């Protein structure tokens, strides 16, 4: 297992907490599954990078995919109907959309 992809994922998750907060605030600071998944993924990914234990890496990867999925389920309504405001969500969506690719790469390569 190449931990490099996990390190990149960690960087992205770290950055996402900032973009996530800014974005959540626009949504009214709802405590949502996505935010929960984000924090959890951040902690597990950190653990994976530090320990290198395979199981933890797998869990981290799964969580990273969940982070991306939950972002879209949460933001779907907004993306669909708010053309003008959606760009405000752009930074955060861009970041989390990178995660599934990195997650899969970290498991296969």
Partner 1 sequence: MVKTVKALGIRSPNAGILAGNVLRSLEMPGEEVRFIVSPGAEAGMDAVARKYGYSMELNRLEKDLEIRMIPSGKTMEEIDVTGETCPGPVIIVGERLSGLAIGERLKVKSASLDTLADLTAAVTASGSRIVGEETEGDRHVITVEKCEKKETPVGTLSAANRDRVLVVQSNGTGNAERAYATFIFSKVAVSMGKKVTIFLLMDGVSIARKGSAAGVKHPAFAPLDQLMDEMMKAGVTMYACELSATFRGITENDLAPGVKLAGAATYIQLLSDPTYAVVNF
Residues near partner 1 (CB under 8 A)? 26-30, 77-78, 80-86, 88-89
Closer residue to partner 1 in complex, CB, 25/55: 25
The least CB distance from residue 33 to partner 1, in Å, is: 13
Q: What value does the CA radius of gyration of the chain take, rounded to a whole number of Å?
A: 14
Closer residue to partner 1 in complex, CB, 83/109: 83
The least CB distance from residue 91 to partner 1, in Å, is: 14
The least CB distance from residue 35 to partner 1, in Å, is: 13
Contact 48, 56 (CB under 8 A): yes
Distance between CA 79 and CA 82 in Å, rounded? 6
Distance between CA 89 and CA 71 in Å, rounded? 10
């Amino acid at each position: 297992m190449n931990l490099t992809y996990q390190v990149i994922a960690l960087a992205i998750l770290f950055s996402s907490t900032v973009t996530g907060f800014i974005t959540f605030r626009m949504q009214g600071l709802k405590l949502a599954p996505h935010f929960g998944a984000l924090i959890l993924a951040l902690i597990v990914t950190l653990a994976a990078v530090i320990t290198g234990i395979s199981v933890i890496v797998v869990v981290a990867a799964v969580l990273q995919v969940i982070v991306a999925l939950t972002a879209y389920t949460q933001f779907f309504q907004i993306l669909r109907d708010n053309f003008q405001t959606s760009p405000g969500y752009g930074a955060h969506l861009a970041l989390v959309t990178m995660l599934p690719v990195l997650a899969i790469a970290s498991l296969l390569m």
